[in-house]
């Protein structure tokens, strides 16, 4: 499995995952650019996946799942909260990828006395 510093792990419940489309969904996600790991747990309607945030995002993956009539589970506040939390983690990983590191021990150059 390819591992990147910008890999996000998602385990979420989805509506519309059936016996007929489970293998199709899994194959489509595996073939998508940036997706590194996919597992569909049909009994619990869970999809676990690892993906590289630099190559794809949750919105693109949801568009792909929508082609198979699979949507995120909305009947529980717990799963709504988990979805928002997953989006927040994705945003943090994207921000970390774009961050330019600097030395935290030094004062900023504009604050130095001359």
pLDDT confidence of residue 3? 65
In total, the chain counts a number of residues equal to 114
**Partners of 88 in the β-ladder:** none
- Which of the residues in the chain have pLDDT under 70? 1-3, 102-114
Q: What 3-state DSSP class applies to 36?
A: strand
pTM for the model = 0.78
How is domain 7-98 classified at the architecture level of CATH?
2-Layer Sandwich (3.30)
CA 95 to chain centre: 14
- The pLDDT value recorded for residue 99 is 73
């Amino acid at each position: 499995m390819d591992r990147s510093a910008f890999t996000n792990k998602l385990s979420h419940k989805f509506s519309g995952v059936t016996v007929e489309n489970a293998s199709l969904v899994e194959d489509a996600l595996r073939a998508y650019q940036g997706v590194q790991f996919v597992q569909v747990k049909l009994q619990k309607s869970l999809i676990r996946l690892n993906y590289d945030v630099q190559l794809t995002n949750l919105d693109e993956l949801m568009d792909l799942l929508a082609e198979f009539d699979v949507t995120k589970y909305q009947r529980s506040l717990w799963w709504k909260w988990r979805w928002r939390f997953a989006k927040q983690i994705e945003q943090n990983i994207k921000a970390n990828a774009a961050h330019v590191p600097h030395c935290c021990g030094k004062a900023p150059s504009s604050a130095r006395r001359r």
